């Protein structure tokens, strides 16, 4: 249970950093902090349920691109998060998606996945000392 709480907190911080750093990712963090926790939980569920299946299906492409397609997979998971947030009536958008999809959406998702990966990795290093 403690691991789940810590991983959710790390994900929430990583999402918050992406919202602050990238103009393409829109979310009202100040007034709705609990929605950030909900978004972090949903993102954790997406990454634990959907992402392994996508990574397995993309294995030949991952081998050919030496793993660089992982950035695109992570961006896809972030876009899936925005879509699910729209269904939950939480105002989390990437480049206006949902409802509109544009090149700004793709760039925002790619940059967001990079920022979230970096922040999660850095915070995860500090979490290793807890075990």
Q: Which residue has 């899936």 as its token pair?
A: 80
Percentage of the residues of the chain whose pLDDT score is greater than 70: 95
Specify the long-range contacts of residues 21-24, CB closer than 8 Å, at least 24 apart: 21/115, 22/108, 22/111, 22/112, 22/115, 24/94, 24/95, 24/104, 24/105, 24/107, 24/108, 24/109, 24/111, 24/112
Residue 94 backbone dihedrals phi, psi, to 5 degrees: -120, 110
Read off the tokens for 32.
């709705």
Residue 131: the pLDDT is: 58
CA distance 84 to 79: 9
Q: What distance in Å separates the CA atoms of residue 37 and residue 39, rounded to the nearest whole number?
A: 5
d(CA 60, CA 74): 17
For the stretch 74-121, pLDDT in tens is 999 999 999 999 999 888 999 999 999 999 999 999 999 999 999 999
Average pLDDT score over residue span 46-66? 94
3-state secondary structure of 31: coil
Q: Rounded to the nearest 5°, which phi and psi values hold at 75?
A: -65, -40
**pTM: predicted TM-score of the whole model, two decimal places:** 0.91
C-alpha span between 45 and 61 (Å, rounded): 24
């Amino acid at each position: 249970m403690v691991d789940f709480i810590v991983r959710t907190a790390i994900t929430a911080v990583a999402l918050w950093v992406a919202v602050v750093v990238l103009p393409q990712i829109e979310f009202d963090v100040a007034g709705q902090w609990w929605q950030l926790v909900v978004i972090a939980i949903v993102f954790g569920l997406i990454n634990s349920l959907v992402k392994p299946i996508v990574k397995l299906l993309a294995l030949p492409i991952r081998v050919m691109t030496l793993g660089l397609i992982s950035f695109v997979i992570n961006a896809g998971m972030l876009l899936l998060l925005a879509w699910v947030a729209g269904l939950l009536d939480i105002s989390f958008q990437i480049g206006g998606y949902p409802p509109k999809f544009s090149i700004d959406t793709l760039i925002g998702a790619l940059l967001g996945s990079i920022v979230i990966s970096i922040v999660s990795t850095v915070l995860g290093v500090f979490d290793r000392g807890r075990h």
